[in-house]
Structure 1
Amino acid sequence: MMKRLLAALLFCLLLPGLAGAETVLRRGNGAEPETLDPHQATGLPEAMIFYDIYEGLLSRGPDGKPQPAIADRWETSADGLQVTFHLRDGAKWSDGSPITAGDVVFSFRRLANPATSRNNNFVWPIKNARALSTGTLTDTAALGVAALDTQTVRFTLEEPTPYFISLLSYPMLVILPESRVTALGRDFFRPGNLVSSGGYRLAEQVPQGHVKLERNPFHRDAAKAFFDTVYFYPTENQETELKRFRAGELDASYTLPPAQIPWAKANLPDALRLSPQLGTYFLTFNLEKEPWKSKPDLRRALSMVIDREVLTERISQGGEMPSLSFVPPTVTHYQAARPEWADWPMERRVATAQTLLAKAGYPGGQGLTLDILFNTADNHRRIAVAVAGMVQQRLGVKSTLTNQEWKVFLDTRRTHNFPGLARHGIIGAYDDPYAFLQFLRTEMGPENPAAYGNPAYDRLMAASVQERDPAKRLEILHQAEALVVADAPIIPLFTYARVRLVSPRLAGWQPNPVDCNPSRFLSPVTAR
């Protein structure tokens, strides 16, 4: 009966469009977006919205794979150092004005500028981008991006970069209109001012209420998009979001409370979606603070006693895979580095960890308290509680738990203003180990989650960029990750899996490793 009622409610929710009235899609979106500036945003709740309102030279399709977007074709020079993109004819902003090569040049200069971008590390393959982002250069005109005419852009790279094309589909590397952003500054990203390029445009933003989008009539595929209006609802309380889905108020949830996954498998099998992700869930030490900074034995001891299988099978329960490596196994053609104790029984790991703890000056956990920071969400709290329990039971180390609202949490973590461990996660911007390992380079600054610095690691990462042989390059990256395993600046816990509820009446939803399902590719089952 409950299944039939749910189906009826969701069908009614989608039905109005079939009768010619406004068609509405309602999506859960976790936290309140930190910002609608894609060059400043770093989180998944923001990316979900950006897939709808922005596009780059490439974008991600319904299967999550890169596809042509603002550019419809490109060619790479024989030496791999130049890539020339051709903008598609008739590409327009949501106000009807043309998208030009000048907008592309402006956007990438903005991305390379640390004053206007938190994502400048992603454009480092471009000539002089790294120097600009680190302050060695200050004139953004030195960036290797040039408009050859109004519809042609040429990128000059520091070295051949195999993943450069796919990187440009990352939702934070989108194009913005130069004239509007220059004139309005931060006010550009407000409703009424924001001009976009995606399938939808911003209509309304109500803090802690919703983000409302409307169909962009100037998008090339506007006639193919079924839904006129899309709502994104921030709901940090996962039980509340589940109730909204069951009541027919949401067509797709952002996630699902881990404790409710078995119930959903039994009662809502047609709505439950589980898919492995190109991402790692981990805890990061703050290496700007003692005792973590100078005691790698202490860091290794804490990592050893955490039972990842218990976390994934009893706590998260969403199809996650236990992990002891930073790079997830979902990255293709790469063998991740693992610690020597990876296959030890827990008894041996605990005994060794106790010895390391004593060596670090804390026998039996005496004199040490571990603070674990996480953003407000039930699954993060449950994981933090479980980790704290394992550490106390096996090492005698007591923990304090600190939770913060999403925006505050991001700022605290980015500024390394936490005393112990912080929850972290990285979803790969592209399918390559470098997409993860780059974040631990010293020069990453505030985007380096642990403030990790190892000259040997930095040299290996730099060498990987220079290496042209694909197999040798992956081996260098493996060596770099082996240093991370030995130094233990982070504690990998598991490979992400996305778990959510999607109305069985909603067609076009394709689970994929980057968790990308733009609204313009969705429609009711009856409309197809």
Structure 2
Amino acid sequence: MNKLRAFGCVLFVALLITACSSDESEKFPVKSTPEIREDGSTVLRRGNGAEPESLDPHQARSVPAANVLRDLYSGLVQISPSGAIEPADAESWEMGDDERVYTFKLRDDLRWSNGEPLTANDYVYSLRRSVDPVTGSPYAQLHAAIVNAKAIIAGDKPAQTLGVRAVDEHTLEITLTAPTPYFLGTLAHSISYPVYRPAVEEYGAAFSQPGNAVTNGAYRMESWRVNSMIALERNPEYWGDDETSIGRVEFYPITNQNSALSRYQAGELDWATTVPISRLETIKKHIPAQLHAEPTLGVYYYGLNVKRPPFKDAPELRQALSMAIDRRTIVDKITRGDEIPAHGWIPPVVEGYAGAQFDWAKLSTAQREAKAQELYKKAGYSQDKPLKVEIRYNSGEGNKKIASVIAAMWRSVLGAEVSLRNEEWKVFLDSVRQGTDTEVYRLAWIGDYNDPNTFFELMNSKFGLNGTGYASAEYDRLQEKQAHMPDGPERMKVMKKAEAVLLADSPIIPIYFYVSKYLIKDYVKGFEGNPLDSYYSKDLSIEP
């Protein structure tokens, strides 16, 4: 390897780390005045990252969309402030002796935002729609446990055969193919929300737009100005309206973390969902009580497109790239928010699972890099024939810095030629979904429920959000087997086998496990961190 080039890459990493680590000593003013309207109602102003790609509950796929949908809709169950499953539209439920049949008793006062009654038949229609191939939901596989869901998703059976039925207007029955320990958790996801059939049939894809949207959550749609603001008003028809405090919620699509911080300081945001890495120490120094750091069911990772060169049929190359990354340096010097280096796929905060790890996880830096170089050469690459690869990421200060550091590590350790491409969020998601020209892409996965399966399922060959194109019959078999096993030692063994297969194949490169960082003004009350990173505006209040 060219020593001068390697030294230059190491120097670049060092300079970038130094730039990230500087603590600014200037004053740090923060305006803390809530917005209160003339009628006395309060307004919650939330930064929300990227513009939501859709507000159709069955087609949305991003965290920004999920944040809005949790306010607009209510499911059979919901996530409590502490992260537990609790009743929502269903006031109670029973599970049959065989753990396959769930019977949900709906509240008798359920209404849509237009005042029309919401019944069990609305849930039957909506659950069928969510798995219908015509809908094209990227999360349809989340309902794979329901009788006939897999065949419907594959186009082999009509949606009407799904194992759901309305016993009466207030009783819903769902039948599973086999016991599924995490099933209730999937019902808190937007894929399980009910949608208003008359609006869907009248407006088609536009049913979620202002003026057309009929919802059943704590808030209803007021306006949606693309790339500006989504405004929601309190929904008086919601079953829990008497316990809802905040009158209006505004979501602002702000991808630039420094811009979000500036608006937070200026009093234009009450809740900033991103924190600039370069300002983290200053924030800790000046407003520590407003910084919330919560361990999360999330993994920051790089996906490798295994459907095309250079990663198709190249496990040694994929492993070499993963091994060449110094994760400890990234979390200690770049993210600096108590993130955990990821040497496996499943976050340690997931309930009921002690994860597997890469077999090289405990090697020294020198041993790890030497092994990476060995695999790189075995894959057919060298100084004279370097790998040429592109890292694609979406806008964001942290994403750019991490991509730059990983590129420098790959150059330094392996001699690879690495380029970077930044894309706007919607374009980026489409690039990953299509997989026609992506090579390496940055993404994150936040668990949809607190069970290891929410991470295992992502890499199933049939899952709609598996952007890598990874398809392993052995992995799919193990993933699907553990999904229907009762919790306990035997399920643990199967899960560990599945994770070991995945890590050996390396279609993904886990970088670190998340600690979500928020800035929330001290007059916003009721916030309680939970590992699912799921929050409802209705659980908060503003007390000037």
The TM-score normalised by the length of structure 1 is 0.95
**362-371 or 268-277, which moves further after superposition?**
362-371
Q: 1:134 aligns with which of 154, 160, 165?
A: 154
In structure 1, C-alpha distance between the alignment counterparts of 2:218 and 2:487, rounded to whole Å: 39
In structure 1, C-alpha distance between the alignment counterparts of 2:425 and 2:63, rounded to whole Å: 11
Letter in 1 for 2:496: H
Map 1:172-183; keep pairs closer than 5 Å: 172-183=191-202
SS of residue paired to 2:430:
helix
Taking structure 1 as reference, are residues 355 and 511 closer, same or farther at Cα in structure 2, changes over 3 Å only?
same
Query: Are 1:286 and 2:305 matched, yes or no?
Result: yes
In structure 2, C-alpha distance between the alignment counterparts of 1:202 and 1:453, rounded to whole Å: 40
In structure 2, C-alpha distance between the alignment counterparts of 1:210 and 1:306, rounded to whole Å: 38
Aligned to 1:480: 498
Taking structure 1 as reference, are residues 44 and 466 closer, same or farther at Cα in structure 2, changes over 3 Å only?
closer
Taking structure 1 as reference, are residues 353 and 59 closer, same or farther at Cα in structure 2, changes over 3 Å only?
same
In structure 2, C-alpha distance between the alignment counterparts of 1:241 and 1:149, rounded to whole Å: 48
Residue 187 of structure 1 deviates from its aligned partner by: 1.6
Letter in 1 for 2:528: Q
Query: Any conservation in 2 of the 1:374–1:422 contact (CA below 8 Å)?
Result: yes
Letter in 1 for 2:507: P
SS of residue paired to 1:203:
strand
Query: Any conservation in 1 of the 2:42–2:247 contact (CA below 8 Å)?
Result: yes
Residue 319 of structure 1 deviates from its aligned partner by: 2.3
Aligned to 1:13: 34
Query: Are 1:513 and 2:531 matched, yes or no?
Result: yes
Residue 366 of structure 1 deviates from its aligned partner by: 2.4
In structure 2, C-alpha distance between the alignment counterparts of 1:359 and 1:5, rounded to whole Å: 55
Query: Any conservation in 2 of the 1:252–1:503 contact (CA below 8 Å)?
Result: yes
SS of residue paired to 1:363:
coil
Map 1:353-392; keep pairs closer than 5 Å: 353-364=372-383, 366-392=385-411
Taking structure 1 as reference, are residues 465 and 61 closer, same or farther at Cα in structure 2, changes over 3 Å only?
closer
Aligned to 1:212: 231
Query: Identity over the aligned pairs, expressed in percent?
Result: 37
Query: Are 1:440 and 2:481 matched, yes or no?
Result: no
Q: Deviation digits for residues 300-355 of structure 1, max 9, x if unmatched?
A: 00100101111111111222111111111111221111111100011111111111
Aligned to 1:25: 44
Q: Deviation digits for residues 385-435 of structure 1, max 9, x if unmatched?
A: 111011101111121111111111111111113331111111111111111
Residue 367 of structure 1 deviates from its aligned partner by: 3.5
Letter in 2 for 1:518: Y
Aligned to 2:246: 227
Query: Are 1:277 and 2:296 matched, yes or no?
Result: yes
Residue 213 of structure 1 deviates from its aligned partner by: 0.3
Query: Are 1:53 and 2:81 matched, yes or no?
Result: no
SS of residue paired to 2:78:
strand
Aligned to 1:34: 53
Letter in 2 for 1:129: A
Letter in 1 for 2:80: G
Residue 447 of structure 1 deviates from its aligned partner by: 1.8
In structure 2, C-alpha distance between the alignment counterparts of 1:192 and 1:42, rounded to whole Å: 23
CA RMSD of aligned residues (A): 1.7
Residue 365 of structure 1 deviates from its aligned partner by: 7.0
Query: Any conservation in 2 of the 1:507–1:524 contact (CA below 8 Å)?
Result: yes
The TM-score normalised by the length of structure 2 is 0.93
Residue 104 of structure 1 deviates from its aligned partner by: 0.1
In structure 2, C-alpha distance between the alignment counterparts of 1:175 and 1:427, rounded to whole Å: 22
Query: Are 1:124 and 2:134 matched, yes or no?
Result: no
Q: 2:81 aligns with which of 62, 68, 72?
A: 62
Letter in 2 for 1:278: L
Residue 482 of structure 1 deviates from its aligned partner by: 0.2
SS of residue paired to 2:92:
strand
Unaligned runs of 5+ in 2: 1-25
In structure 2, C-alpha distance between the alignment counterparts of 1:417 and 1:63, rounded to whole Å: 41
Map 1:39-438; keep pairs closer than 5 Å: 39-116=58-135, 117-137=137-157, 139-364=158-383, 366-438=385-457
Residue 525 of structure 1 deviates from its aligned partner by: 3.6
SS of residue paired to 2:299:
strand
Letter in 1 for 2:301: F
SS of residue paired to 1:498:
strand
Query: Any conservation in 1 of the 2:34–2:523 contact (CA below 8 Å)?
Result: no
Unaligned runs of 5+ in 1: none
Divergent runs of 4+, >4 A: 2-5
SS of residue paired to 2:150:
helix
Query: Any conservation in 2 of the 1:102–1:178 contact (CA below 8 Å)?
Result: no
Taking structure 1 as reference, are residues 357 and 5 closer, same or farther at Cα in structure 2, changes over 3 Å only?
closer
In structure 2, C-alpha distance between the alignment counterparts of 1:447 and 1:520, rounded to whole Å: 29
Residue 3 of structure 1 deviates from its aligned partner by: 8.8
SS of residue paired to 1:172:
helix
SS of residue paired to 2:272:
coil
Residue 436 of structure 1 deviates from its aligned partner by: 0.6
Aligned to 1:452: 470
Letter in 2 for 1:253: A
Aligned length: 519
Query: Any conservation in 1 of the 2:74–2:193 contact (CA below 8 Å)?
Result: yes
Q: Deviation digits for residues 26-51 of structure 1, max 9, x if unmatched?
A: 11000111111111011100111111
Taking structure 1 as reference, are residues 397 and 83 closer, same or farther at Cα in structure 2, changes over 3 Å only?
same
Residue 20 of structure 1 deviates from its aligned partner by: 4.5
